[in-house]
Structure 1
Amino acid sequence: MSLTSEKVLWNTFRQGDRQAFAMIYEQYIQALLNYGHKITQDESLIEDSIQDLFYELWNSRNNLSETDSIKFYLFKALRNKIYRNKEKNNFDIIDENQALPDWLNEVSTEYSMILQEHEESQLNHLKRAIQKLPKRQQEAINLRFFHDFSNEEVAQLMGVNYQSACKFIYTGLRFLKEHVIYPILIVLIANYLDKF
């Protein structure tokens, strides 16, 4: 979705258009569920937080500010909502040593189209390499490359400064470059490292 159409959709929703609200829900619900699973494995906490988020969005639509990225706005709001609900209800948030996030076991649509059956072992090799990264680097790589957020947005979502977010991404990519050798990853990493 283009920046202009995102702004139009968001502003239409803010004016009380139920269809625009439904479109936002339908477009981002799966991404929000996946992101919620990176923060906690408690289904109830995730579902309750998403329900609360959309309930509050609709009820406070007249007071919401404009946004250039609906996805970023929703991700940040969901993260805050999960942590607030966790404190209120004593749910357990995944810590550094708990199970790996669900996205590590998923193959994005883009990868599915690109990869052929004979590349399955290489994809598994990539997953194993990502699993070796520290938790914060995994989250940064996921947000940057699987959700296409900018470095600035990654920093804001993770609650760290810009330099820390860049370091998480850069260090993670350097590790993956050393441990995973196949064309898709090399192109991804080469494009990113050229910026430094």
Structure 2
Amino acid sequence: MSHLDEFDALFKDLRNIERSTFVKEQSLTNILQSKRVKKSWYSKQRFIIPLTSLVACFIVYFFLNTYFSHDNMGVSEEKVELHISSVMVKTSQSDLTFEINSTTKLNTLEINNDDSFMNSLENFISEAEQITTAPNKNLYSYDLNIVLENSQEIKVEIWENGDALYMYDFSEDRYYSSTGQSASNLHSMLVNIPYLPQ
């Protein structure tokens, strides 16, 4: 309360100063106008801070949503809703590179309308479990360029070793394996594909 008393005293002192009423009215007008300017600036600022916070939250949400969306994921996230529209298959000659590309279709087979193959591949991918390392490849391994219905491509290499079928996802740099019936069905279909050089 002492601050208010000091201000009251200062205003009383201001009244005692001899000035014309015109100058007093002009001072009062200036004080009131400066208060309005400050108030309008404060009212604008009051909306700027929440608006800026809202925009920042939206940007963070957008980037997180984009980062964790299914479009950036490979096989592991697509297990839930995997709808394959076509597959390109080629016997792999190298462990390090994916050998199917859009310019060269030499020794590559495209599978579009084989429901049993597509179902076996979808079941194999959904049953496959992630592993840390995979055993060496046998004589034959296969590069598969899987095109989903949303035009996303998944590039994998599949090979058999012992009782399990293994898969390496090039986009995720992860290994998967499965020993289920769909794995053996898929392997027998890959081995028996006509016109695919072994």
TM-score (norm 2): 0.23
Larger relative strand fraction: 2
More helix by percentage: 1
Q: TM-score, with normalisation over the residues of structure 1?
A: 0.23
